[in-house]
Structure 1
Amino acid sequence: MTDTEFPVHVPLVREPWGILKSLNAARQNVLSIIPEIATRQPMVSGKTGKRWHMVMDPQALRHVLLDGLADYPKSDVTKNLLRPAIGESLFVAEGAHWRWQRRAAAPVFSHRNVMNLAPIMTAAAERSAARIAASGPGAIDMADEMVRATFDVIGEVTFSGGGGFDRDALHRAIDRYIAEAGKVSLLDILGMPDWVPRPGRVFSGQVVKEMKSVADRAIDDRRTTGAKDIPDLLDLLLAGEDPETKRRMNTAELRDNLLTFIVAGHETTALTLGWALYLCAFDPAVQARARTEATSVLGTRAATGADVANLPYIRTIIDEALRLYPPAALVSRTALKRDTLGGREIRPGDTVMIPIYALHRNHLLWDAPDSFNPARFADRKAIDRYAYLPFGDGPRICIGASFALQEAVIILATLLARFRFTAIPGRDPKPVMILTLRPQGGVWLQADPL
């Protein structure tokens, strides 16, 4: 149990910074450039190389993400960071190219298909529990264990029975790319064109080639062997087509979207679970209530897809973990035309940032926003839709949100039903965002079998 009143948080800026200081801070932790006033105001504007606006007003966010979506495409910084690895996939593409891919991929994440994949999540939860039990007494880095468990899931639901597919090699390649290419470049902030080399991305070029070659081989192999009895994500993508144009993805498009789903499908869920376990250790009363719910539904077995609807309190812990530590804690858009947001002028070329970390901790929108309180999600209808954006919203809401939530509830419920997690004094994680909001230093907990 920590001796502080609130779970760990990011110290936010309380004074204006210049571009070089902002760059240096952003390379260490992107969230450190958010001004503290962003947690107390609906909108904050400034200029660091170019004009920017941080938006925390739900109505303005609805305009950016829904009504005016076409006028606020993803920023060049975001595209420059991700395009080398995932090309013009769903996450990066805009306009018509995005729309046809979204239509083709939407059935992949239907409720039926997500439920069909639940047994893989249950099996991964069982293996995770077995590894924790076998580790014996002492501290365990649960952040690392959750990465292993969720990559276990995404590897199986993407490449089930994948013969010569080297999942560990792909996992290492993805991790190296995020570490090297995710650091914000001064050239990106200044808006320099793509052809100007970025040192981090040049260094990671070989890693990107490795990732793409592994995915290409898997796609070619599956085209040869054919679909499984219960189709996995790759089967579903291969069979997917735009219902309007009947267009199907070519190998490069399949590979880029597959890599997108692999990265997003394990990294963000692993982070959510790591933070959720930290929070359960932070508040033993919450953990005890969640365990009572889990054991009453599961007994000693692992959770299944059918159990998720009967584990509402554990779902609220996941929701609260996503509020306090959203994996995509800051996203940005570029304004294409003159507009008004929150009564302020927006000019073409302005950067419009959505600091989800600050939005989720905004005092105008949340009661005691820095506290851990899963009960705030007992009535989801009482929460403004655009005050809570762990998966974004509007047409570009995360296509895999239901997959991630189902997986998170299955794994968390299984572990809480079998172990009591206790924090290790002096080893609290530090929230640090490069591409995603990670617990730097790990989530070190003691796991005592029940």
Structure 2
Amino acid sequence: MIPTDISLPVHVPLVDEPMGILASLQASRRNILGIIPRLATTEPIVSGRTGKRWHMVMEPTAIRRMLLEEVDNYPKSVITKALLRPAIGESLFIAEGAHWRWQRRTAAPVFSHRNVMNLAPIMSAAADRSCDRITAAGPRAVDMAADMVRTTFDVIADVTFSGDGGFAADAVHQGIDAYIAQAGKISLFDILGFPDWVPRPGRVMSGDAVAQMKRVADEAIEARRARSQTEPDAVPDLLDLLMDGEDPDTGRRMTTAELRDNLLTFIVAGHETTALTLGWSLYLCAFDQSVQDRARAEAQSVLQGRAATGDDVARLPFIRQIIDEALRLYPPAGVVSRTAMQHDTLCGTEVRPGDTVMIPIYALHRNSRLWEDPDSFKPERFADRKAIDRYAYLPFGDGPRICIGASFALQEAVIILATLLSRFRFTRVPGRDPDPVMILTLRPEGGVWLEAEPMPQP
């Protein structure tokens, strides 16, 4: 699946011919991006029927309408909810309407700038530990995708549970991974539009993993409630902040089940997406050594041999541009799917109630109407963010449902990438470039295998 054009970073070959139901099913179970037509990189909208009517929208004005102006008319799609509800319930990621709004109001203060900055030392320490592991590996190649998963999981476990050894965080992570592996692939029933109550075999098989994962999380929440009684002066972490949060309008607090579902959402979203961004960023820096050299010069001049901190982030603009460009080329959520509730018109196309309306972010970010030389790696295109249409670039979504942890993720990514690039030169391993594959998130299949050469420090 990896293109042979060595002048461009790896990308997914999109399809030229319409696919039927079975072909779509086979393609989507292998790689969801494989169902995106090439037209989506040149046109404002593409429509078709695969069991049910669907539209792919790549026009910023229409996307703004979906995500901001008529957001209640475009809730998350039935397929998205069916895939995720068994694992994360009616958490912020899935909930709609009033139930979503009160959870969002309650959780928003947890991710305030002050709280995110307070968590920066944990990110710096995790970056240092990653450097230690790379050094210990010696001259052999390292799968940096796997190491970034470990690094960002260290961060989310620490900021969520303050290193509480009583919580089996790995069990939760493994449980969610098992669920995604078994149940996350689109079912033929989903494509045909069968209702949620019709059992999907993969999701039935993964039920035990989900039940165990939820038990572990419930036990952690109850243990924390008990600890808060005996250690009232402990420094609050993410779980404490979430437990203490209340809806400013009503005073309502989350129940144990609501806390658990949101906690599981934050654990997964709080580390895997950032790990993916870092893995792809390192691959791209190894792909273009001139970009890596410029980034290293910036990082070394600011860091002077130490790990990056929260205060350094604003002084590392080119590192941030690399991350922005990696999120453009390899957005963790490569496709966003909605279900239309009412009649509407998008880009002159009729949208009917029940239609699936997708924003193929992978194609949006590579649409030649919006981006010059869209398949190339050019971090400098983000030097002037005001020149980029807000709805042409959506790594974190937008509108009221924009990712609540975006500032947390960007701070973490800049801290870790700057620290790594300041200390090592990364080079690709011939024949081992990653393959961009999306099931639930856009992962570098096969890993990001890089050789790391220690660099002299200023």
TM-score, normalised via structure 2 length? 0.97
1:441 aligns with 2:439: no
Distance 2:420 2:101 in 1: 39
Does the CA-based 8 Å contact 1:228-1:235 persist in structure 2?
no
Task: State the shift of 1:268 in Å.
Answer: 0.2
Q: Secondary structure at the match of 1:420?
A: strand
Does the CA-based 8 Å contact 2:25-2:187 persist in structure 1?
yes
Q: Secondary structure at the match of 1:237?
A: helix
Distance 1:161 1:151 in 2: 12
Q: Secondary structure at the match of 2:368?
A: coil
Does the CA-based 8 Å contact 1:116-1:230 persist in structure 2?
no
Distance 2:156 2:356 in 1: 34
Distance 2:61 2:221 in 1: 43
Task: State the shift of 1:170 in Å.
Answer: 2.0
The correspondence for 1:10, drawn from 2, 9, 12, is 12
- What is the correspondence of 1:37-436 to structure 2 with a 5 Å cutoff? 37-226=39-228, 229-436=234-441
Distance 1:447 1:324 in 2: 23
Does the CA-based 8 Å contact 2:274-2:413 persist in structure 1?
yes
Distance 2:102 2:253 in 1: 9
Distance 1:401 1:57 in 2: 23
Distance 1:81 1:219 in 2: 25
Task: State the shift of 1:350 in Å.
Answer: 0.6
Distance 2:355 2:176 in 1: 31
Distance 2:163 2:452 in 1: 32
- More displaced stretch, 315-324 vs 159-168: 159-168
Aligned AA for 2:275? A
Distance 1:399 1:294 in 2: 28
Distance 1:285 1:90 in 2: 41
Distance 1:77 1:228 in 2: 44
Distance 1:440 1:161 in 2: 30
Unmatched 5+ stretches in structure 2: none
Aligned AA for 2:9? P
Task: State the shift of 1:168 in Å.
Answer: 2.2
- The count of corresponding residues between Structure 1 and Structure 2 is 449
Distance 2:436 2:275 in 1: 14
Aligned AA for 1:175? D
Does the CA-based 8 Å contact 2:87-2:176 persist in structure 1?
no
Q: Secondary structure at the match of 1:417?
A: helix
Distance 2:413 2:23 in 1: 37
Task: State the shift of 1:3 in Å.
Answer: 7.4
Task: State the shift of 1:138 in Å.
Answer: 1.0
Does the CA-based 8 Å contact 1:162-1:218 persist in structure 2?
no
Q: Secondary structure at the match of 1:340?
A: strand
Q: After the TM superposition, which parts of structure 1 deviate over 4 Å for at least 4 consecutive aligned residues?
A: none
Aligned AA for 1:167? A
Q: Secondary structure at the match of 1:349?
A: coil
Task: State the shift of 1:214 in Å.
Answer: 1.3
Identical counterparts, % of pairs: 75
TM-score, normalised via structure 1 length? 0.99
Distance 1:171 1:259 in 2: 9
Distance 1:166 1:66 in 2: 39
Does the CA-based 8 Å contact 2:313-2:411 persist in structure 1?
yes
Evaluate the alpha carbon distance shift between residue 33 and residue 294 of structure 1 in structure 2; reply closer, same or farther with a 3 A threshold: same
Distance 1:176 1:323 in 2: 28
Does the CA-based 8 Å contact 2:143-2:448 persist in structure 1?
yes
Task: State the shift of 1:68 in Å.
Answer: 0.2
Task: State the shift of 1:196 in Å.
Answer: 1.2
Structural RMSD (CA):
1.0
Aligned AA for 1:433? M
- More displaced stretch, 304-313 vs 165-174: 165-174
Q: Secondary structure at the match of 1:12?
A: coil
Deviations 1:244-295 (A, max 9, x none): 0110000000000000000000010000000000000000000000000000
- More displaced stretch, 224-233 vs 150-159: 224-233
The correspondence for 1:23, drawn from 22, 25, 29, is 25
Deviations 1:52-92 (A, max 9, x none): 00000000000000000000000000000000000000000
- More displaced stretch, 218-227 vs 110-119: 218-227
Task: State the shift of 1:230 in Å.
Answer: 2.9
Unmatched 5+ stretches in structure 1: none
Deviations 1:355-383 (A, max 9, x none): 00000000000000000000000000000
Distance 1:85 1:280 in 2: 35
